[in-house]
Amino acid sequence: MDFDDYQRGALRTAAPRDKKNELLHLVLGLVGESGEVAEKFKKWVRDLDSDEPRLDRAGIAKELGDVLWYVAVLADYLDLSLDDIATANLAKLADRHGRGVLGGSGDNR
């Protein structure tokens, strides 16, 4: 499956674009699901003393799937191809790596 295939699949369960406040719903959903990923790590630190073998990988995978869904649907809402976004991101990172500025700050390094 490529990113655009996933994006098309995610859209089968998305609300219509013209639903009131749908853009805001998608942005807040992405932030919320990202927070749920962070929450899994918080509980791992708090309750499991950061013991890596006890990390809830299955739970994190589910939350990352929810993040991916929101990214895919939000990108579509903005008429962006998830495949194009992924390709551009890898090119940007490769360029930064090649220039030795991968660890810097900001986009214009």
Per-residue pLDDT of the chain (109 residues), as tens digits, is 999 999 999 999 999 999 999 999 999 999 999 999 999 999 999 999 999 999 999 999 999 999 999 999 999 999 999 999 999 999 999 999 999 898 867 666 5
Q: Can you tell me the distance from the alpha carbon of 79 to that of 60, in angstroms, rounded to the nearest whole number?
A: 28
pTM: 0.91
In CATH, what is the architecture of 3-80?
A: Orthogonal Bundle (1.10)
